[in-house]
Copies of this chain bind each other. A is one copy, B any other.
Amino acid sequence: MKKIAIDVMGGDFGSGPILAGVVQALKKQKFEAILVGDEYQIKTKIPKRFHQYISVVHTTDVIDMSSNATDALKRKQSSIYKAVELVKSGEASAVVSAGHSGATMSLATLRLGRLQGVSRPAIATFMPSLNGNYTLVLDVGANVDSKSDNLFQFALMGEAYAKDILGVQSPKVGLLSNGEEKSKGNEVTKEAHELLKELPTFIGNVEGGDIFHSDVDVVVCDGFVGNILLKTSEGVASSIRKILKDQIKKSPISMVGATLLRRVFSNLKKRIDYAEYGGAPLLGVKGCTIVSHGKSNAKAIKNAIFQAIEYTDSDINEDIIASLKK
């Protein structure tokens, strides 16, 4: 049975949603959940009938959002440290954490180590595209000041993820830039374009708005840019939601209208809600690390666990190594 290490303590809302997500996942699929965190909370919040599928690694320290990522290596009693160590020692095949993402990335990179040939691991996230699928965007925050060969590697890793996990047979890979012409871009992007044009799956530069169209599967960018892209997108979506809500409240007619549109709004939410796909895989490190949103609800954790299982069922790490060798 697949063994997944789960950091129970790191999320913004404590252990509640994490453990509820574990239970949701166990209801759908059998696996062994190695729960790392406060034993009392775990034992009381996981219903007895699931106890046969869990094991507990008790911890007392938590790296919270205000901590410094650089401290992560020293705080060996923290839930995230211990969860990563389970993958390193082979006791688990993947780790899922909704905790401090910088700490998770550092620990995964330094304790698990990079895959052969990888210069810098990258975090990949999923943006909803208009055909109902997702576009994979990487890097969204593991690296700043990426070099062109880093971007080239991100493309290969994203391509492997799209093929092996998302089941896209020949994924279209785009390079994020400020214009579609190859002459557009900052220095690094222009250099990366030159490297990427050798890649058969490369379709050229894409702009910010193209991410949501269905004609690109993998979008490559520097982590600084990717982080801003990701947070801006979340900001726009949540602002629109807020403006709609405020406007609707202003009149009884609107409230009736909104009631009739409940299904539409819920479908919209489903399409743009990160809880639907789970977390963000850290590509380029040994084993499997899924970085979940700090505000993950139970559904997001459930889906992150499924992602981790799919990842470890696939040959993605071997394929990344093989693809980088070429």
Contacts and interface: CB of A to CB of B under 8 A. Distances in A.
Contact of A224 (B141, B189, B239, B248): B189
A210 B261 CA distance: 29
A221 B237 CA distance: 21
A231 interface: yes
A60 interface: no
B254 A261 contact: yes
Contacts of A179: 227
A61 to B, nearest CB: 21
Contacts of A209: 231-232, 234-235, 238
Contact of A235 (B187, B208, B230): B208
A267 B250 CA distance: 12
Contacts of A227: 178-179, 207-208
Interface in A198-218: 207-212
A14 B201 CA distance: 36
A260 B263 contact: no
Copies in the complex: 2
A63 to B, nearest CB: 15
Contacts of A260: 253-254, 256-257, 260
Contacts of A248: 261, 264
A240 B241 CA distance: 10
B242 A130 contact: yes
Interface string A169-192: 000000011110000011101000
Contacts of A222: 186
Nearest to A252: B260
A107 to B, nearest CB: 18
A148 to B, nearest CB: 13
A29 B153 CA distance: 56
Interface size class, chain A: 35 or more
Determine which residue in A185, A221, A233 has the highest number of CB atoms from chain B within 10 A of its CB, and name it.
Answer: A233
Interface string A251-286: 101101111110110011001100000000000000
Given A128-B239, A130-B243, A239-B128, A145 B257 contact: no
A228 interface: yes
Contacts of A232: 208-209, 211, 229, 232-233, 236
A266 to B, nearest CB: 10
A168 interface: no
A131 to B, nearest CB: 11
Contact of A264 (B212, B236, B254): B254
Nearest to A245: B264
25 contacts: A130-B242, A130-B243, A144-B186, A144-B187, A145-B187, A177-B224, A178-B227, A186-B224, A208-B231, A209-B235, A212-B235, A212-B238, A221-B228, A225-B225, A225-B228, A229-B232, A232-B232, A243-B272, A244-B264, A247-B264, A247-B267, A248-B264, A253-B260, A254-B263, A257-B258
Interface of A: 128, 130, 141, 144-145, 176-179, 185-187, 189, 207-212, 221-225, 227-240, 242-244, 247-248, 251, 253-254, 256-261, 263-264, 267-268, 271-272
